[in-house]
Structure 1
Amino acid sequence: MPRQAALPPTLPPRLISREAAAAYVCVSPNTFDEMVQDGRMPRPRRLSDRRKAWDVRSLDAAIDALPVDGEAPTIDDTWNDIDAAQAAAAR
């Protein structure tokens, strides 16, 4: 889909197509579909009944959450102590 002529050429798009999102993440469109399906990449925004697009900001956040090669995955257990305290109080 061509870029809108009303936008300045220096303004990057906020929403991008499936093919552009796959290229942005540096994978094939089929691999990108798998990553969306398993939750590693965000689901698209629905623009109309037939048209979807991916938010670049959401893609950036998903990329930031991917594991770094050679590092142990981090587990966010920030709220674990809250549940434990509530369970102890309920006893």
Structure 2
Amino acid sequence: MQKQSRLPPSLPPRGLSRDQAAEYICASPALFDQLVRDGRMPKPVRINTKPVWDRVEIDLYFSALKSEEAAIADDPWSDFDRAA
């Protein structure tokens, strides 16, 4: 049974669990872990022992991913690098 939130539905949570953070960016938990390891997603903060991801920080990193993809698309050597 899921715990009912006391927050209004219009107020999204600021802190997300690993699974929630992965779902938030439409990734599997395993892919999210990889993105955190390689620095494309933020590391969690710890609340006591629980890792929690800041939704606002995830938004900033996600926007940077889009910029990174645009830079690769604009790079005339990007296709050459992939073929090598």
Normalised to the residue count of structure 1, the TM-score between the two structures is 0.68
State how far apart, in whole Å, the 2-side matches of 1:25 and 1:64 are: 11
CA change 1:32–1:38 in 2 (3 A) is: same
Q: What CA RMSD, in Å, does the superposition of the two structures yield over aligned residues? A: 1.6
Gaps (5+ residues) in structure 2? 76-84
Normalised to the residue count of structure 2, the TM-score between the two structures is 0.73
Cα deviations by residue, 1:2-52 (Å, 9 ceiling, x for unpaired):
3532x2221110111100100111110001001101100000110112x11
* Match of residue 54 from structure 1: 53
CA change 1:10–1:28 in 2 (3 A) is: same
Gaps (5+ residues) in structure 1? 73-91
SS in 2 for 1:65: helix
SS in 2 for 1:42: coil
Q: Which has the larger radius of gyration?
A: 1
SS in 1 for 2:19: helix
